Amino acid sequence: GGSSCEIAKAMCPDQCSGHGAYNTETSSCACDQNWTGPDCSLEKCAMACGSHGVCYGGVCRCEDGWTGSACDQKTCHPLCNKNGVCKDGKCECDQGWTGEHCNIAHNPDTRVKEGCPGLCNNNGRCTLESSGWHCICQPGWRGDGCHVAMEMLCN
Which domains are seen in the chain, by residue range?
A: 9-38 (no CATH), 45-75 (2.10.25.10), 80-149 (2.10.25)
The pLDDT value recorded for residue 37 is 86
What is the per-residue pLDDT across 83-124, written as a single tens digit (0 to 9) for each?
A: 899 998 999 988 878 888 888 776 554 444 457 767 788 888
Overall average pLDDT of the 135-147 stretch: 88
137: Cβ contacts below 8 Å, ≥ 6 apart: 120, 123, 124, 143, 146
What is the per-residue pLDDT across 48-61, written as a single tens digit (0 to 9) for each?
A: 888 899 888 788 89
Q: What is the pTM of this model?
A: 0.45
The pLDDT value recorded for residue 86 is 92
- Residue 48 gets the label, from left (phi > 0), alpha (psi -120 to 50) or beta, of beta
pLDDT band at 14 (very low <50, low <70, confident <90, very high): low
CB 81 within 8 A of CB 92: no
Higher pLDDT, 143 or 63: 63
What is the distance between the alpha carbons of residues 43 and 96, in angstroms, rounded to a whole number? 46
Determine the distance from the C-alpha atom of residue 112 to the mean position of all C-alpha atoms in its chain, rounded to a whole number. Answer: 26
